[in-house]
Amino acid sequence: MSRTGRSSLLLSLLVSAIVFSPLIQAENIDEYGENIEHEIIIISEHHHQNDAFTQGLELYNGSIYESTGLYGFSTLREVDPLTGDVIRSKSFNDTIFSEGITVFNDTIVMLTWKSQIAFVFEMENLSQVSSYEYEGEGWGICFDGESFVMSNGTSSVSFRNTETFEIERMVSVTDSFGNLITKINELECVNTPAGPRVIANVWQQDIIVVFDPSNGTVVGEYDASQLSSENNHGINNVLNGIAHSTGSEFWITGKNWSKMYLIQMTNLSQAGEDICVSSCDLGQDSISSGTGFVTITVLFVGILLIFFGRNDMPVGGNDVETGNRHDEQPNPTPQSQEDGVILDD
Ligand SMILES: [Ca+2]
C-alpha cells in the first residue's frame, strides 16, 4: 500500500469511528438500561475504639463482637454499639493475628491470618472450646445458616462444612462483566427477599459489594468513600467490618477508625445490571471510554502505518482483552508486610 493509500485508509477509519461512535454508545445504553441505585445512608454515628484494627464484626444479642488484628495486639472483644465501650476483651499472644469472626451455635469462630487455624470460643466466657484447621490464609468469615463462608484475600470464597471445616464448594466473586474481584475481606451473610446474599469489604477499597453466594456474581456495589475520608488517616486504616443489624441496616467501621456507623444500604435485594467494580476503564460499562479507545487505537495505528510504513502492524489484538481482566493474585500479601512491616490484610 502506498503512503497516499494508507493516508486515505486512515482518514476513512477515523471518519467512520467518529460518525458511528454516538450510535454505538446509544445502543449499549439501551441494552443495559437504568442501573439500580445502591447507596449508603447514615442513620447514626457512634464511637469506635481507635485502637481496634478491625478484622471481624458481627452483632449478636445487641452486642457487637469484634476481632482486632496485628501480631501482639490481636483481641476478641464484646462492644456496646451505642457507646463504643468495650464490655469484655480477650487478648492473644504475639503469634496470633486475629482475622474474621462469625457467631455459630452460641460460639464465636475466629480465623487467623496465617496460622491456618480457626479458634472456637464459647460465647458465655470467651474460653476456647475447639478449633478447626484449614490451608492458606484466613481473612473473612460468616455463617449462612448452613455453611461457613470464608475469604482468603483472593477473589475465591469457600463454603465450608460446619463440623469439619472442609471445603464443600467455592465461587469466584465477579462483577457483571466477569472481572474477578480480588482481596475479598470481611464478610456478612444475610437473607434478602431476593435470596441469600454475602456482603463483603474489599481490602483497600472504599466499597462494599454484595454478591450472590450461588455463583459469586456481584449484584450490588456501595460507595463508602465519604465515611472512609472521615476516618482514614493512613494506608492501613481502611474500611473493614460489617455487621447486620436488621432489615437493610448494618453497622460498619474500619481499622483504627474513631467512628462506627449504623447505616442503611438501599435496594439491598435489587440487583444492578451493569456493575463494574474494577478494571472498568476498558470495561463494558464505560461505553464512551470504549468508543474513545477505538478512535485512539485507529489513530495510533494509522500514524504508525504512515511514519513507519509497516504493513504487518497488528490492529487490536489480545492486549485489549487481557487488560480488561483481573488476574488472580496467588499471594495477596503486600510486600511491605512480607518484609516485616505490620500492615495486615
Ligand atoms: Ca461481619
Q: In this predicted structure, what is the pLDDT of residue 281?
A: 66
Q: In this predicted structure, what is the pLDDT of residue 117?
A: 98
User: How close is the Cα of 199 to the center of ligand 1, in Å?
Assistant: 8
Beta strands per DSSP E along the chain: 40-47, 54-60, 63-68, 75-79, 86-91, 98-104, 107-112, 117-122, 128-133, 141-143, 148-151, 156-160, 167-172, 184-192, 195-202, 207-211, 218-223, 239-246, 249-254, 259-265
User: How close is the Cα of 71 to the center of ligand 1, in Å?
Assistant: 21
Q: In this predicted structure, what is the pLDDT of residue 276?
A: 87
User: How close is the Cα of 55 to the center of ligand 1, in Å?
Assistant: 9
Q: What CA–CA distance (Å, rounded) separates 298 from 222?
A: 36
CATH assignment of 40-278, given 3.40.50.1220, 3.30.450.40, 2.120.10.30, 2.170.130.10? Answer: 2.120.10.30
Whether 341 shows a pLDDT value over 70: the answer reads no
Model confidence pLDDT, tens digit, residues 258-289? 999 999 999 998 888 788 887 776 544 433 34
**Three-state secondary-structure class, residue 46:** strand
Whether 32 shows a pLDDT value over 50: the answer reads no
Q: State the pLDDT confidence band at 6, using cuts at 50, 70 and 90.
A: low
- Domains of the chain, residue spans: 3-33+281-323, 40-278
Whether 292 shows a pLDDT value over 90: the answer reads no
User: How close is the Cα of 318 to the center of ligand 1, in Å?
Assistant: 39
Q: State the pLDDT confidence band at 318, using cuts at 50, 70 and 90.
A: very low
Model confidence pLDDT, tens digit, residues 85-106? 999 999 999 999 999 999 999 9
Q: In this predicted structure, what is the pLDDT of residue 153?
A: 97
Beta strands per DSSP E along 152-211: 156-160, 167-172, 184-192, 195-202, 207-211
Q: What CA–CA distance (Å, rounded) separates 7 from 16?
A: 14
Alpha helix (H) residue ranges in 33-92: none
Contacts 24+ apart (CB under 8 A), 226-230: 226/40, 227/40, 227/42, 227/252, 227/254, 227/259, 227/261, 228/254, 230/259
Q: In this predicted structure, what is the pLDDT of residue 34?
A: 58
User: How close is the Cα of 188 to the center of ligand 1, in Å?
Assistant: 4
Q: What CA–CA distance (Å, rounded) separates 268 from 264?
A: 9
User: How close is the Cα of 101 to the center of ligand 1, in Å?
Assistant: 7
Average pLDDT of the residues of the chain: 80
Q: What CA–CA distance (Å, rounded) separates 319 from 201?
A: 30
User: Would you state the cell numbers that stand for residue 193, as one nine-digit string?
Assistant: 427477599
Provide mean pLDDT across the span 244-269.
96
Q: What CA–CA distance (Å, rounded) separates 134 from 136?
A: 7
Q: In this predicted structure, what is the pLDDT of residue 174?
A: 97
Model confidence pLDDT, tens digit, residues 208-224? 999 999 999 999 999 99
User: How close is the Cα of 81 to the center of ligand 1, in Å?
Assistant: 14
pLDDT over 70 percentage in the chain: 71
pLDDT over 90 percentage in the chain: 65
User: How close is the Cα of 245 to the center of ligand 1, in Å?
Assistant: 11
Query: Strand 128-133 to strand 141-143: parallel, antiparallel, or no bridges (unpaired)?
Result: unpaired
Q: In this predicted structure, what is the pLDDT of residue 272?
A: 82
User: How close is the Cα of 35 to the center of ligand 1, in Å?
Assistant: 27
User: How close is the Cα of 191 to the center of ligand 1, in Å?
Assistant: 14
Whether 65 shows a pLDDT value over 50: the answer reads yes
DSSP letter, residue 217: B
Q: What is the pTM of this model?
A: 0.74
Model confidence pLDDT, tens digit, residues 109-164? 999 999 999 999 999 999 999 999 999 999 999 999 999 999 999 999 999 999 99
Whether 294 shows a pLDDT value over 80: the answer reads no
Residue type, 190: V
**Three-state secondary-structure class, residue 229:** helix
